[in-house]
Amino acid sequence: MKLRPTGDGSRWAWASLGGAPLLLLWIHATLGLRPEHFVIVGLFVVLAWAGPRARRFAAIAAPFVLTGLAYDHLRLFIHLRGEVHVGDLHEAERALFGVSTSAGRVPISELVARATHTALDALTGIVYLLYLIQVFAVGAYLYFRDQERMQRLSWGFAAASLLGWMIWIVWPAAPPWYVDLYGAGPAVLDAPSNPAGGARFDALFGVNVFHAFYARSSNVFGAMPSLHVGYAVLPALATWSLGGRLRVFTALWAAVMAFSAMYLRHHYILDILAGAAVALAADRAVLLAQRARLDPAPSKDGASPEVSV
């Protein structure tokens, strides 16, 4: 019996046999291979050979995977970042979103972070840790309900990530926890990443999840924009017109994520708004591209071109 892929996209199955080793070689040369790299690349090779439907799922989900692999390469460009914004961002937050207290004007985000409770530690910690799982889960659901929306979500994820990373390099900014630990003076460029309020989640459940996650972070000064919030907003935008429980779930998730970003002391309100703006810009760009592909431009004589079906 000969192993031969058939159906739509069969050429991609053959291409994967050469592309997968080249991708692994590139990762080895630039970053160093980890077990998850073999798992991810191997899974896509399997999907490419599993049949037309599996190949289509892999193709639509590819932006998610490529974005994840690209994130590891961000550390190669950190040295290009501009001057880190510390005190100016903190003062802008105080001026725009501060309230008067007996201790002076205090940012709302700081007051939120002070109002700790074990129930909130658990809720915000779980939501913050599942920030990617929620996006992928909604994407998988959309594959069976509306593949155009899944494609919109996956490419929106890639576009928002790229835009956010570019801002991190051009306009690096310190998170609130950094100011709490090091003050608003010049940036300490070798400061290690910190789980901030996430440490309470670890202590509450006797785990080391937040500490381990942030120990691997390659960029302390990526507070603006908050991609945690941006990633939560994307599914809400992609599914909004579907209505029903899915709209309620995605909108509520985005709201809780925004609260968690403040409560865990990882982001200011300004970072949260910037994250939502990045998601909106990415989603609009992808949606316009989809509409342009599905609605061909009229011909010069004003008549719409014939579309074969």
Query: Based on the domain organization, do 145 and 164 belong to the same domain?
Result: yes
Query: Based on the domain organization, do 130 and 272 belong to the same domain?
Result: yes
On whether the CB atoms of residues 75 and 222 are closer than 8 A, the answer is no
Token digits of residue 281: 């810009």
Query: Based on the domain organization, do 132 and 180 belong to the same domain?
Result: yes
Query: Based on the domain organization, do 43 and 96 belong to the same domain?
Result: no
Query: Based on the domain organization, do 98 and 232 belong to the same domain?
Result: yes
Would you call 6 exposed, middle or buried from its count of C-beta atoms within 10 A (0-12, 13-18, 19+)?
exposed
Query: Based on the domain organization, do 90 and 47 belong to the same domain?
Result: no
Amino acid at 292: A
Query: Based on the domain organization, do 22 and 118 belong to the same domain?
Result: no
In this structure, how many other beta carbons lie within 10 angstroms of the beta carbon of residue 78?
16
Which ranges in 171-296 belong to alpha helices (H)? Answer: 176-182, 198-205, 209-215, 227-239, 244-263, 269-294
Query: Based on the domain organization, do 191 and 119 belong to the same domain?
Result: yes
Tallying the residues shown for the chain, one arrives at 309
Instruction: Quote the number of domains for the chain.
Output: 2
In this structure, how many other beta carbons lie within 10 angstroms of the beta carbon of residue 230?
30
Distance CA 291, CA 279 (A): 18
Cα Rg for the chain, rounded, in angstroms?
22
Considering 54, 78, 102, which residue would you say is the last residue of a domain? 78
Distance CA 220, CA 65 (A): 23
In this structure, is residue 1 part of a structural domain? no
The reported pLDDT for the residue numbered 210 is 96
Range of the domain at 29: 8-78
In this structure, is residue 300 part of a structural domain? no
Query: Based on the domain organization, do 232 and 100 belong to the same domain?
Result: yes
Query: Based on the domain organization, do 144 and 228 belong to the same domain?
Result: yes
Distance CA 266, CA 85 (A): 15
Partner residues linked to 85 by β-bridges: 173
Global pTM value: 0.89
Token digits of residue 1: 């019996």
Query: Based on the domain organization, do 71 and 214 belong to the same domain?
Result: no
Average confidence (pLDDT) per 10 residues, the chain, 309 residues: 61 84 90 87 87 87 91 87 95 96 92 97 98 97 95 98 96 97 93 96 97 88 97 97 95 98 98 98 96 69 43
Considering 44, 78, 112, which residue would you say is the last residue of a domain? 78
Q: Hey, what's the torsion of the CAs at 18, 20, 26, 32, to 10 degrees?
A: -140
Q: Select from 109, 19, 107 the least CA-distant residue to 65.
A: 19
